[in-house]
Structure formats: structure tokens, C-alpha cells
């Protein structure tokens, strides 16, 4: 048999199946408590596979668990199970066709524990097909702060902290004029898992002699799996600082302190 004929036969055999998933639409990232997430599984059937006695069943699986979290048999009510019990809109219709009406999952209020792999499995008595995609339900930071303090008169400690983030975030510190190019090197970053969420802290001590006046510091918090990025900025003025004001920059206070020092010197000379 000619090679072209072999390829034609192989192609016809591959296309002979009665069930074929043509598209699996799963949002890659959904915000925690965002109000709804639709996971749709489109499939095609041969004419005979659309009959009531074809044994058509649509199942959804979560994170390779052996038991489905959703099942629908045309002519029957959809069933929610496992982690999706009580979390679906079972009245949602993906189409008006009897063989595809309840093929999709509509999660009413997605939360972080629903992050994972979702597999759509479509089968009949004669054939089956499946497809898998991942969805991340991310939680942005509950708190996010960037601060500066003076360990001594010649240095500054820049600290950035965020709490209540999911999944595990990353954090970087930048300073002008390098913030558009690369992060500050050798920054200490500490991450703690707490009750299913993450807290993260980044800090660095810098010498005033290496800084310009003023210096802009940026902190960037990111969740790579969700393509989520947020930033905060502060301005630092190397020089004299109020040690009783958490090391925050205060030019007015610096002027007052300098005046007070000069006054004491004048009084001492009287």
C-alpha cells in the first residue's frame, strides 16, 4: 500500500470515534470570591451517539481524584459531588441541545481550595474522550505595606510585608534609578504558610552613602500563577531623621533638630 493511502486510512480510523472533545474552556486564573467561574466542555457526537440509549455520560474530575465531582446523564438532573457539592449552579445551561445542555460547570463562588486540575470526561457505550486544564483561584493580599527605619544614622532598613496571599507569592525591592531595570540584590525574603494562605516579608539594609537624595523605593508583590502584580512606593531622604518617628523621613523635623542643636551650642558658650 502506498504511504499516502496508509495515512488516509489512519486518518479515517482516528476520526471514526463517536465522541470528541473539541474545546475545553477553563479560566486560568480566577479571583477568590469573584462571584462566578464557568468551565465549559464542548464535544461532538455522531448521530447515533446522540440517541437516549447511547449511554452518554458527562463527568468532571478534580486533581486526578478517582471519583467525579460532577456528573450529568441526558434526561436526568445534574449531580454535584465532593469538593463541588453545594458550590454549583445546577440550573446553568451551556446549550439548548439535549445532548449538551448541562455539560459545563458553573461555580457560584470560587474559593482558593478549588485551585487545581479539572478534567472533562465524555463517554458513551462505544467511545470516550477527555481533556484536562488547570484553574488557579488566587487571593490578593489582605495587607500590604512598605516602610523604612533607621538602624543608625548612616543606614536605612527598607521593609515590605504582605499577608493573606494565595498561592505562594514573590516579592522584590527596587530603588531609583534601577527600579525599571533590576531589583535590589541580596534582599532577604521570608515566606510563611498560615491557614492555607501565605505571608511574605522582604527587607534590606542600605548605606546612605550609596543613595541619592531623594531615593525612591518600590516593592513589587506578585503571584506568578495568576499573572497578578501590585506595587507600593516610598521616598527616602538620606540625612538626619527623627528617631522617635519610626525612622520616617521628615525634613522639617531635621531642620528643627539642627536649630535646637545650634541653640544648645550658643547657650553653652554664654
- Look at residue 215 and tell me if it is in a domain: yes
pTM of the model: 0.77
The pLDDT value recorded for residue 93 is: 96
- Look at residue 158 and tell me if it is in a domain: yes
Domain count, the chain: 2
Domain match, 122 and 38 both: yes
Domain match, 190 and 228 both: yes
The pLDDT value recorded for residue 17 is: 61
Q: What is the grid cell recorded at 82?
A: 465532593
Stretch among 84-93, 210-219, 232-241 having the lowest mean pLDDT: 232-241
- 3-state SS assignment for residue 172: strand
Domain match, 100 and 202 both: no
Q: What is the grid cell recorded at 9?
A: 486510512
Mean pLDDT of 83-107: 96
CA–CA distance, 44 with 26 (Å, rounded to integer): 18
The pLDDT value recorded for residue 52 is: 73
Q: Please check the confidence at residue 11 and state whether its pLDDT lies above 90.
A: no
- Look at residue 259 and tell me if it is in a domain: no
| Band of residue 33 on the pLDDT scale cut at 50, 70, 90 | confident
**Residue numbers of the domain that contains 39:** 17-138
Last residue of a domain, one of 82, 113, 138: 138
- Look at residue 10 and tell me if it is in a domain: no
Write b or e for each residue in 109-147: b if 16 or more Cβ atoms lie within 10 A of its Cβ, otherwise e: ebbbebbeebbbbbbbeebebbbeeebbbbbbbeebebb
Last residue of a domain, one of 138, 156, 181: 138
Domain match, 113 and 186 both: no
Domain match, 204 and 166 both: yes
Whether the upstream peptide bond of residue 214 has omega within 30° of 0, thus cis, is: yes
The pLDDT tens digits of the residues spanning 144-198 come to 999 999 999 999 999 999 999 999 999 999 998 665 667 899 999 999 999 899 9
Average pLDDT value over all residues in the chain: 85
Domain match, 23 and 115 both: yes
Domain match, 31 and 116 both: yes
- Look at residue 2 and tell me if it is in a domain: no
Amino acid at each position: 500500500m502506498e504511504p499516502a493511502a496508509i495515512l488516509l486510512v489512519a486518518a479515517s480510523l482516528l476520526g471514526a470515534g463517536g465522541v470528541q472533545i473539541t474545546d475545553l474552556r477553563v479560566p486560568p486564573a480566577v479571583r477568590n470570591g469573584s462571584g462566578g467561574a464557568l468551565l465549559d466542555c464542548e464535544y461532538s457526537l455522531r448521530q447515533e451517539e446522540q440517541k437516549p440509549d447511547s449511554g452518554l455520560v458527562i463527568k468532571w474530575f478534580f486533581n486526578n481524584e478517582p471519583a467525579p465531582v460532577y456528573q450529568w446523564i441526558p434526561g436526568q438532573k445534574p449531580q454535584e459531588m465532593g469538593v463541588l457539592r453545594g458550590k454549583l449552579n445546577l440550573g446553568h445551561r451551556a446549550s439548548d441541545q439535549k445532548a449538551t445542555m448541562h455539560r459545563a460547570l458553573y461555580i457560584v463562588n470560587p474559593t482558593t481550595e478549588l485551585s487545581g486540575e479539572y478534567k472533562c470526561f465524555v463517554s458513551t457505550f462505544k467511545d470516550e474522550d477527555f481533556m484536562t486544564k488547570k484553574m488557579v483561584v488566587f487571593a490578593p493580599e489582605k495587607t500590604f505595606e512598605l516602610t523604612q527605619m533607621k538602624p543608625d544614622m548612616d543606614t536605612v532598613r527598607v521593609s515590605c510585608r504582605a499577608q493573606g496571599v494565595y498561592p505562594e507569592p514573590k516579592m522584590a525591592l527596587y530603588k531609583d534609578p534601577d527600579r525599571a531595570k533590576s531589583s535590589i540584590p541580596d534582599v532577604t525574603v521570608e515566606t510563611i504558610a498560615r491557614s492555607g494562605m501565605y505571608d511574605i516579608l522582604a527587607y534590606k539594609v542600605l548605606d546612605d552613602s550609596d543613595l541619592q537624595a531623594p531615593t525612591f523605593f518600590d516593592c513589587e508583590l506578585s503571584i506568578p500563577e495568576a499573572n497578578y502584580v501590585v506595587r507600593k512606593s516610598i521616598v527616602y531622604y538620606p540625612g538626619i531623621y527623627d528617631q522617635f518617628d519610626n525612622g520616617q523621613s521628615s525634613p522639617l523635623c531635621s531642620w528643627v533638630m539642627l536649630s535646637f542643636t545650634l541653640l544648645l551650642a550658643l547657650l553653652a558658650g554664654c
